[in-house]
């Protein structure tokens, strides 16, 4: 279509739900808000350097995934020196409620399996992109996904 990146606001509008669902599944609702804002603020900073034909969804989910990992590892957040665009804050507060039972089980998974499951089912990423986001081989991503789903089945049917 166009040879340039879409306006950031349009990118935010298009990806906010997927990113939100992914983060709620990854870190739970109370942490998701902060992770969401950090994700899109990082994305805004990096946005001008993107190639116009980039897979924006996979890219922003890679960022969201890193923020989720930071949250899980309890890393202190860096104070952000720039003012948050109001659009990012509003995008976070406008997100719908999400019930948590299955996602509690997801939260219990080991890190790589949790990543694979959330990237697959919240973000609809193919194995290759899951692997890229996690930073592992495609085979490893498939395995983690398979093992994670097996654990979830056990947890949910227990």
Please give the residue ranges that form the binding site for another protein (CB under 8 A).
Answer: 2, 4-10, 12, 44, 47-48, 50, 85-88, 90
* Nearest to another protein of 85, 100 (CB atom): 85
d(C-alpha 142, C-alpha 100), whole Å: 25
Minimal distance in Å, beta carbon 8 to another protein?
Answer: 5
* Nearest to another protein of 55, 102 (CB atom): 55
d(C-alpha 19, C-alpha 92), whole Å: 10
- Helices and strands per DSSP (H, E), number in the chain: 8, 0
* Nearest to another protein of 7, 135 (CB atom): 7
Minimal distance in Å, beta carbon 78 to another protein?
Answer: 20
User: What is the rounded (10 degree) CA torsion for 46, 115, 21, 42?
Assistant: -10
* Nearest to another protein of 80, 156 (CB atom): 80
User: What is the rounded (10 degree) CA torsion for 46, 132, 122, 86?
Assistant: -10
Minimal distance in Å, beta carbon 132 to another protein?
Answer: 22
Minimal distance in Å, beta carbon 45 to another protein?
Answer: 9
Q: Residue 62: which residues within 8 A CB-CB, separation 6 or more?
A: 132, 133
């Amino acid at each position: 279509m166009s040879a340039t990146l879409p306006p950031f606001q349009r990118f935010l509008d298009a990806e906010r739900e997927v990113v939100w669902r992914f983060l709620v599944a990854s870190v739970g609702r109370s942490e998701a808000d902060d992770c969401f804002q950090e994700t899109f603020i990082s994305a805004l900073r990096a946005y001008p350097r993107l190639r116009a034909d980039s897979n924006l969804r996979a890219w922003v989910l890679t960022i969201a995934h890193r923020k989720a990992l930071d949250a899980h590892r309890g890393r202190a957040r860096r104070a952000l020196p720039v003012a948050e665009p109001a659009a990012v804050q509003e995008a976070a507060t406008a997100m719908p409620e999400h019930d948590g039972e299955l996602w509690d089980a997801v939260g219990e998974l080991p890190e790589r399996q949790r990543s694979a499951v959330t990237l697959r089912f919240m973000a609809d990423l193919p194995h290759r992109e899951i692997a890229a986001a996690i930073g592992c081989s495609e085979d490893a991503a498939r395995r983690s996904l398979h093992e994670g789903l097996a654990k979830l089945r056990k947890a949910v049917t227990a």
